Amino acid sequence: MKYYSLNKQAPDSSFENAVRIGLAPDRGLYFPQHITPLDEDFFEKLDELSNSEIAFKAIQQFIGEEIPSDDLKQIIEDTLNFDFPIVDIEEGISTLELFHGPTMAFKDVGARFMARCLGYFNRNNDAEVTVLVATSGDTGGAVASGFLGVKGVRVVILYPSGKVSDVQEKQLTTLGQNITALEVDGTFDDCQDMVKKAFLDVDLTSQLELTSANSINVARWLPQMFYFMFAYKQLKALDKPIVFSVPSGNFGNICAGMVAQKLGFPIEHFIASNNVNNVVTRFLETNTYDPQPSIQTISNAMDVGNPSNFIRIQALHDYDLNKLKTNLSSYSFTDDETKTALETIYSNSGYIADPHGAVGYLGAKAHLTNHSNSQVVFLETAHPTKFLDVVEDVISKKIELPPQIQAVIDQQKHATFVKNYEEFKSFMLKF
């Protein structure tokens, strides 16, 4: 498989090169040259296949011979060593729980898969790779856990000061070893801009081999399609149109779901459920794409004012707005609406959602207003204990900390504060 830059000003790339450098030299995101639908026999035998077998069949074409089948199967087995259950919430609405991994967030899958791919490519290489990652919350912890101790890899995580939850901050600042955290005076968009700028800074790239573990990296982005496949397998017996409501920030997750759809999974529709950082909601309403500075909310992983992956979504729909609108709806909700949804879900079903899942639930409810025959699955992207202050206050209930959270909550934070790109660059040159 070859990858091309969506800016179309860079040479085509192998999978390994795309993983190693993250962003193309022209600052474009890498995109597969073609997506070949899976054959009918695969879908006929889907019930007989394990999650790992489904994932291998789905992602093999995007890697080709660059990782031999046996090694790729082992990478997938190591990545998918936890469950992805669906829980019924109410008539027509279910949730897909994506928080059963080591950091209790959906990004565990992409981070673990990418770390293992990079580890494979580095197996005979003494050179050191530096992974740069910006996080609005869960990416940092997932990447820190996924890359901890990986040979030949150093990880630098940039996160916005005061804009991630206490648990999220502990998950990315307490591991040590090859993981370094930088606390940035700014927003997630500022962190993401620093990462992108670093890739084009010759002073840095001449001394460091840099790559990114954000969803701009194909090895972080593509494995997220697995969730949608596992959900379809569990729900297809309902014989109803399956719709996914995806809490959306940088839009990598919902974009990966659309890749699953391209591979032939019969997904009826997607809903991008936004908080007040709603550039895509506004785009679908006005046909004008107008990024804005991000606004802090209680669903902080979605506090993104300029989602990187939306260009990939446009490419998947041939840059045809009408085709996109047929496949994607988007709604925006306030913090007050999110808190009401948390309370409603708990009082009606006993289910404790996190703020991101609550936004997804609201998107599901909005869709069912005019599509009552659908089965809408909202993605529960993180465990509610990662947002204790919000969730416990809303539902008036003490939530027991799971082992993954207990392991970090009392650990000592270690982070370096940086005010701007120059301070970040200075740190990296001495790193």
Report whether 100 contacts 82 (CB < 8 A): yes
Q: What is the pLDDT of residue 16?
A: 94
The pLDDT score that the predictor gives to residue 123 is: 83
CATH of 82-106+221-401 given 3.40.50.1100, 3.20.20.150, 1.10.630.10, 3.30.590.20: 3.40.50.1100
Task: List the 209-212 sheet strands across, edge first.
Answer: 209-212, 129-134, 153-160, 179-184, 416-418
Residue 256 and residue 379 in contact, taking contact as beta carbons nearer than 8 Å: no
* One-letter identity of residue 258: M
Per-residue pLDDT of the chain (431 residues; tens, 9 = 90+): 899 999 999 999 999 999 988 889 998 999 999 999 999 999 999 999 999 999 999 999 999 999 999 999 999 999 999 999 999 999 999 999 999 998 888 989 999 999 999 889 888 777 788 999 888 777 888 888 888 888 888 999 999 998 888 888 998 898 888 999 999 999 888 998 999 899 889 999 999 988 888 788 999 999 999 999 999 999 999 989 999 999 998 899 999 999 999 999 999 999 999 999 999 999 999 999 999 988 989 998 898 889 989 999 999 999 999 999 999 999 999 999 999 999 999 999 999 999 999 999 999 999 999 999 999 999 999 999 988 889 999 999 998 888 888 888 888 899 999 999 999 999 999 87
Q: For residue 293, give Cα distances in angstroms to 103, 187, 247.
A: 28, 8, 19
Domain boundaries in the chain?
82-106+221-401
Query: Is residue 262 annotated as a catalytic residue, yes or no?
Result: no
Number of residues that make up the chain: 431
Q: What share of the chain is helix, strand, coil (3-state, %, to 5)?
A: 45, 15, 35
Catalytic residue among 2, 8, 57, 107: 107
Evaluate if pTM is beyond 0.75: yes
The partner residues of 329 in beta bridges, in order of sequence, read 271
Retrieve residue 20's tokens. Answer: 């190693």
Amino acid at 237: A
CA distances from 378 to 208, 243, 366 (A): 40, 9, 12
User: At residue 285, what is the residue type?
Assistant: E
In whole angstroms, give the CA distance from residue 386 to residue 408: 11
Contact 63, 15 (CB under 8 A): yes
Nearest one of 207, 163, 208 to 184, comparing CA atoms: 163
Residue 129: per-residue pLDDT: 87
What is the rounded CA–CA span in Å between residue 343 and residue 393? Answer: 10
Distances (CA, A) of 380 to 161, 238, 244, 289: 25, 21, 11, 27
Token representation of residue 301: 């992983």
Q: CB atoms < 10 A from the CB of 373, how many?
A: 9
